[in-house]
Amino acid sequence: MTWETIIGLEVHVELKTESKIFCNCSTRFGGEPNTQVCPVCLGLPGALPVLNQQALEFATRAALALNCQIAGYSKFDRKNYFYPDLPKAYQISQYDLPLAEHGHVDFIFGGEPRRVRIRRIHLEEDAGKLLHSEDGGLSADANVSLVDFNRSGVPLIEIVSEPDLRSGEEARAYLNRLKTILAYADVSHLKMEEGNLRADVNVSVRPTGSTEFGTRTEMKNVSSFRAVVRGIEYEAERQVKVLDEGGSIRQETRQWNETKGVTIALRSKEEAHDYRYFPDPDLPALDISRDFVEGVRANLPELPDARQARYVRDYGLRDVDAGILTSDLSLAAFFEEAAGLYPKDPKAVANWVLGDLLRIMNARAAESDEIPITPKQLADTLMLIDRGTISGKIAKTVFEETMATGKDPEVIVKEKGLVQISDTSELEKVIADVIAANPQPVADFRSGKETALGFLVGQVMKATRGKANPGIVNELLMKALK
Amino acid sequence: MQIRREDVDHVADLARLSLSEEEREKMTRELNSILGHVDKLNELKTDGVQPTFHVLASLKNVTRKDEVIHGLDRDRALQNAPSQKSGCFAVPKTVE
């Protein structure tokens, strides 16, 4: 029997407000433990939470960017459970009347267009952070855990997908697209290493062709895309094995262990999903007007699909190239600035970005927001080619050098003596040498084998260490061989 | 709806309450009495009545500006903690 994997994701995204969702404490990451806290986010009795307007706007903006319908009426509820990182013993979340519903994310997977439906998006507060001794944290005592509440109350949106994904790699493609859209919407810092984006992963399997869902398990708080993919693949395989052996899947929460590469069932007590939601009486409901929604919509930044279409329309790029450029906001911003500085040939700019720039960055595993060359430096390099100062080949060397050192292309050309040789008398001398040293290719060319010319041009370039102006070399060689 | 002893145990467990035998009896009795009272509401005809999602129906859209204001100094934040360490609240270990 063959099996199909069914995946749904609940993605938690920290919003980039200055202050927390229900109090004025700072959301800054990395502060000394418990220095960004107050009675509200510590859950002290009598404290009154008040919603951060900016959090509501960011959440609405994200929901619109993900094609959701915004609720006319929404409210906050208490989700009750005991855990030391949750000081009130309930999390303020949204239960039956979430901020937004019925969205979707479109993306390309395996060359095919895919659509994953978004069931709902709601606002909630983040929990504090537990430090355990084995994390190499502050606690050396193996019997205690330490709690830092700086993160308690940082605004989150939870984006719940329908079970529309069918493989780990497809989940990764969805997450990448989701992250791109959220970056364009400019609602979160999206720093994975700071836990700005975490996923709960629901996985089940069913016989291929079946329309009913199998029993699912949930992996909570998976904090990298790679772990999501590996966790899904492991879990699907585990479930198939259990079913193949005649067993059954228990609905449970499992934890992905990145080091061991396995999922482990959590103790049953922690599985008790009985949250006893009820409306939070401290927080008045939200009556969301059309005016508010349309105001947020009007200020929505340009989204990746629109930008991709614009690159095809305005710059004449191929759709697939425009797709790659716009898949990353920093890369798109780099391209656009460089294209603005070099308006005569945006396609050439795109080719440099998609070719040499990405190649070098991939080789260095650099993050795209740390592009080690400025748009102006790329445009200047292209202008050096246009002016005949350097050849296209030397330009690649200059470009790499700029990326490695940050020096301006003109400076590199000067320092390394890379100025193109266009002086005909100098080149004629080199050409005469090359012709003398290569009688066979010369004879080949003269007997009509035109490809031999390329070899001879190559020899001239080699002799000048790439600095010869190839156009002039071609011309002079032809003349000399006649 | 009838509350059974197991329901009381379950709710007590979720609330981390430890109840004596006597208290369990009492809770079962009292919860049933409360639910019985609330059940009376079911006799009302509520067709066409909007649900009350929030007790303060006239109060809506209360928000504040996104501004950082320093809250408590750490010493103050930790002053009532039964146990603290390295500027953190110390709690019984939560992972095995």
ipTM: 0.89
Nearest Cα residue to A409 out of A423, A421, A426, A396: A396
- Domain identity same for A255 and A164: yes
CB atoms B89 and A25 under 8 Å: no
Predicted confidence (pLDDT) per residue in A45-91, tens digit:
999 999 999 999 999 999 999 999 999 999 999 999 888 999 999 99
- Domain identity same for A278 and A397: no
Residue B14 lies in a domain: yes
Q: How confident is the model at residue A388 (pLDDT cuts 50, 70, 90)?
A: confident
Q: CA-to-CA distance for A407 and A405, rounded, in angstroms?
A: 5
Residue B24 lies in a domain: yes
Number of domains in chain A: 3
Q: CA-to-CA distance for A236 and A201, rounded, in angstroms?
A: 12
Residues from B in contact with A at Cβ < 8 Å: 10, 13-14, 16, 53-57, 59-74, 77-78, 83, 85-96
Q: What is the CATH number of the domain that holds B32?
A: 1.10.20.60
Residue B5 lies in a domain: yes
Checking if the pLDDT of A122 tops 80, the result is yes
- Domain identity same for A285 and A334: no
- Domain identity same for A390 and A435: no
Q: What is the CATH number of the domain that holds A468?
A: 1.10.10.410
CB atoms A279 and B90 under 8 Å: no
Q: How confident is the model at residue B64 (pLDDT cuts 50, 70, 90)?
A: very high
Which among A296, A315, A330 is the end of a domain? A296
Best mutation target among B68, B80, B96 (most A Cβ atoms within 10 Å) is: B68
Residue B4 lies in a domain: yes
Which of A32-46, A238-252, A349-363, B27-41 tops mean pLDDT? A32-46
Contacts of A54 in chain B (CB under 8 A): 65-66
Residue B88 lies in a domain: no
Retrieve residue A239's tokens: 């479930």
> What's the N-to-C CA distance of chain B in angstroms?
39
- Domain identity same for A342 and A245: no
Q: Compare all CA atoms of chain A with the CA of B78 and give the residue at the minimum distance.
A: A34
Enclosing domain of residue B8: 1-44
- Domain identity same for A283 and A399: no
CB–CB of A66/A181 below 8 Å? Answer: yes
- Domain identity same for A51 and A149: yes
- Domain identity same for A95 and A149: yes
Enclosing domain of residue A144: 3-296
Which among A416, A438, A472 is the end of a domain? A416
Residue B21 lies in a domain: yes
| Interface list for A 262-281 with B (CB within 8 A) | 267, 272, 274, 276, 279, 281
What pLDDT, on the 0 to 100 scale, is given for residue A247?
84
Distance from CA of A260 to the nearest CA of B (A): 16
What pLDDT, on the 0 to 100 scale, is given for residue A268?
54
Checking if the pLDDT of A201 tops 60, the result is yes
Best mutation target among B50, B58, B86 (most A Cβ atoms within 10 Å) is: B86
Number of domains in chain B: 1
- Outline where A43-154 has alpha helix (H): 53-65
- Domain identity same for A282 and A308: no
Residue B32 lies in a domain: yes
What pLDDT, on the 0 to 100 scale, is given for residue B72?
96
Give phi and psi for A231, each to the nearest 5: -60, -45
Which among A296, A315, A337 is the end of a domain? A296
What pLDDT, on the 0 to 100 scale, is given for residue A138?
52
CB–CB of A470/A461 below 8 Å? Answer: yes
- Domain identity same for A54 and A118: yes
Least confident of A22-26, A262-266, B55-59: B55-59
User: % helix / strand / coil in chain B, to the nearest 5?
Assistant: 40, 10, 50
Contacts of B78 in chain A (CB under 8 A): 34
- Domain identity same for A239 and A104: yes
- Domain identity same for A361 and A283: no
Residue B61 lies in a domain: no
What pLDDT, on the 0 to 100 scale, is given for residue A61?
98
What pLDDT, on the 0 to 100 scale, is given for residue B14?
85
| Interface list for A 46-65 with B (CB within 8 A) | 50-56
